């Protein structure tokens, strides 16, 4: 791999054949967070091939030269875990020279937050297993995936305040307690229940329904639904959560 000077003299710059640059590859890695009942998990695969065979890893693979990055992320996620239609977004690119043993490979990390119970990931292609891991109990990971995961978790915490990453992980009708638990779990904080509610009921995008919880052995909570249109309007006006 190390056939180029790290720094060339100026007069040499034009003498490098352009082909010399086209010897690299890039991959995508998907950080799929799952939230269900106040638990945050991340989807990992077990690698069935070298390098890092048998290690747990983020689902990811090399991108074809004629493939857009976003499509590649969805395609690879589907190849390895059979998941489809996951709303991913780019996080950051990791590019240390020696991060991949087979050559120069930089990787673009993507993240998503999903509801794991209505998905059924199963290993395919070269993945030998796929499993949800609690966010505070992660095994040793392949490559630099531990770092990628940590950066992505920070991004999740930040982005969930500024955009709608969360509405799909709640049931269509949810209680304010469920709403609060979601943010408490992901942000790793707790809030005063009465005050949290008072803050949140003023948000126009939480629609109070006529319906209430049933079959619980305590006072049933009223249910709310999410008005995505109102949320987008408010976001366009600069709204973001401040918890």
Partner DNA sequence: AAAGCTTTTTGTATAATTTACAATTAGTGT
Partner DNA sequence: ACACTAATTGTAAATTATACAAAAAGCTTT
Q: Are 232 and 212 in contact (CB under 8 A)?
A: no
Is-cis flag, bond preceding 152, omega within 30?
Answer: no
Residue 71 or 207 with smaller CB distance to its own copies: 71
Decide if residue 79 touches its own copies (CB under 8 A): yes
Q: Are 24 and 16 in contact (CB under 8 A)?
A: no
Q: Which residues pair with 132 in a beta bridge?
A: 43
Is position 237 an interface residue for its own copies (rule: CB under 8 A)?
Answer: no
CA 22 to chain centre: 30
- Among its own copies, DNA, none, residue 125 binds (CB under 5-8 Å by kind): its own copies
Q: Which of residues 181-240 bind DNA (CB under 7 A)?
A: 192-195, 197-199, 201, 212, 214-222
26, 55, 191, 203: residue in contact with its own copies (rule CB under 8 A) = 26
- In sign, the C-alpha dihedral spanning 79, 83, 86, 89 is negative
Find which of DNA, its own copies, none residue 102 binds, CB within 5 to 8 Å per kind: its own copies
- Spatial CA neighbour of 144 closest among 186, 90, 108, 187: 108
Contacts of 86 (CB under 8 A, 6+ apart): 30, 32, 74, 77, 112, 114
Binding residues with its own copies: total (CB under 8 A): 44
Number of residues that bind DNA (CB under 7 A): 22
Stretch that binds its own copies, among 34-42, 91-99, 171-179, 223-231 (CB under 8 A): 91-99
> Considering only 96-104, 136-144, 204-212, 213-221, which stretch makes contact with its own copies by CB under 8 A?
96-104
Identify which of residues 104 and 173 has a Cβ nearer to its own copies in the complex: 104
169: closest CA among 155, 156, 188, 158?
A: 156
CA angle 91, 238, 185 (to 5 degrees): 55
Which residues of the shown chain bind its own copies in the complex (CB under 8 A)? 1-7, 10, 13-14, 18, 20-26, 62-69, 71, 75, 79, 90, 92-93, 95-97, 102-104, 106, 108, 124-126, 242
Which residues of the shown chain bind DNA in the complex (CB under 7 A)? 175-177, 192-195, 197-199, 201, 212, 214-222, 242
């Amino acid at each position: 791999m190390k056939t180029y000077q790290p720094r060339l003299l100026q007069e040499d710059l034009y003498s490098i054949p352009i082909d010399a640059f086209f010897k690299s590859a890039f991959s995508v890695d998907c950080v799929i967070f799952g939230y269900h009942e106040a638990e945050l998990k991340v989807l990992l695969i077990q690698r069935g091939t070298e390098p890092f065979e048998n290690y747990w890893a983020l689902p990811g693979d090399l991108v074809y030269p004629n493939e857009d990055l976003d499509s590649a992320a969805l395609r690879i996620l589907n190849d390895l875990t059979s998941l489809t239609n996951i709303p991913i977004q780019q996080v950051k690119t990791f590019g240390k020279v020696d991060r991949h043993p087979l050559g120069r490979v930089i990787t673009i990390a993507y993240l998503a937050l999903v509801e794991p119970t209505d998905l059924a990931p199963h290993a395919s292609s070269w993945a030998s297993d796929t499993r949800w891991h609690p966010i505070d109990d992660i095994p040793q990971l392949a490559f630099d995936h531990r770092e990628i995961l940590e950066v992505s978790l920070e991004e999740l915490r930040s982005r969930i305040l500024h955009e709608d990453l969360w509405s799909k992980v709640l049931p269509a009708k949810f209680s304010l307690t469920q709403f609060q638990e979601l943010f408490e779990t992901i942000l790793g904080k707790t809030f005063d229940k009465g005050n949290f509610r008072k803050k949140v009921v003023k948000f126009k995008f939480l629609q109070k329904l006529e319906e209430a919880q049933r079959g619980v052995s305590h006072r049933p909570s009223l249910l709310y639904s999410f008005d995505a249109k109102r949320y987008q309007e408010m976001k366009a006006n600069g709204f973001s959560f401040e918890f």
